[in-house]
Homo-oligomer: A and B are copies of this chain.
Amino acid sequence: MQVRIADDLRLRIERGELAPGDSLPTIHQLARTWECSLNPVRVAFDLLKTQGLITGGRGKPAVVRTPPRQVVRSSLRHQEEKDLVLAPLAERAAVGTAELESKTTIRDLRFRTVYDVVPATAAVAGALEISEGAEVLRRAWEHLNPASGVREAWSVSHIPADYIRDNPRLFDPGCEPWPGGTQHQLSTVGIEVMRIIDEVTSHMPSTPEAQLWDLPPGVPMLRCRRVSVDQHGRRVEISDAEYPADRTRLDFVTPLTAWPSRPDPGPEHDDTG
């Protein structure tokens, strides 16, 4: 029963009979038309909510969800940040880390940073290819919407402490936001980032996570681990960030090397399996 009610409503949404923003029939109406009690209808509503199709409740009727506009985060930023390291200070200073991350000015956000030096957990050590328990600088930060207190961005970065001891200021949270971002910070100790690997997965938020981000039900989180590899092949930083999937699109640009000349479309091209 409950799955049939949910299927029927989903069909009507997919067919456009119920457009985004439209109210659904009330629970009582549906219970009457399906000749069942209230509970199955409520469970059907729950199902559609966990699938991200409807929102609402608490005095207001349930509503077909309008997907929010997506913010695009592009991997082109990696190269831009690298280029910025060589730019004069004035230019670098104009672009703080917060801006690079969130495309808004620093002042618009409440910015929280926690720095500490901790022994590497097994997971972190494995990802950095260092030995477990070795010291790593952990930098956690968070942007909060000053009005609502809702989290808008979050990330944790791990850098092996041994790689950056030459510049003690890198351990000082008071220097954040560093003009030019992490790549410039690393450049002060002779590290040039040559390759960045983004590892993307997705998962459902737990209840406290959903509260932090003010996520409606049915919205997954995108998890992105960024691994930076330097000129010696060392993994110099891993940075874990999460983004609400309904308002985020991650773009990755892969430039391909040009062929020396156009491939010969000769005799061998009448081949297929």
Contacts and interface: CB of A to CB of B under 8 A. Distances in A.
Interface of A: 3, 6-7, 10, 46-47, 50-53, 70, 72, 75, 78-79, 82, 85-86, 88-89, 92-93, 96, 169, 174-179, 187-188, 190, 192-208, 217-222, 231, 245-246, 248-259, 262-263, 265, 268-273
B259 A192 contact: yes
Given A195-B254, A254-B252, A256-B196, A179 B271 contact: yes
Contacts of A53: 206
9 contacts: A10-B206, A50-B50, A52-B204, A78-B254, A192-B259, A201-B222, A203-B220, A204-B220, A231-B258
Nearest to A244: B202
A201 B272 contact: no
Contacts of A217: 50
B262 A198 contact: no
Nearest to A7: B207
A272 B169 contact: yes
Nearest to A50: B50
A254 B196 CA distance: 5
A79 B254 contact: yes
Contacts of A222: 200-202
Given A85-B263, A177-B273, A254-B252, A218 B204 contact: yes
Given A194-B256, A201-B248, A201-B249, 20 more contacts: A51-B204, A52-B203, A53-B206, A70-B201, A75-B252, A78-B256, A79-B257, A85-B259, A86-B263, A92-B271, A169-B272, A174-B272, A178-B272, A190-B265, A198-B254, A200-B222, A200-B251, A202-B222, A204-B218, A231-B258
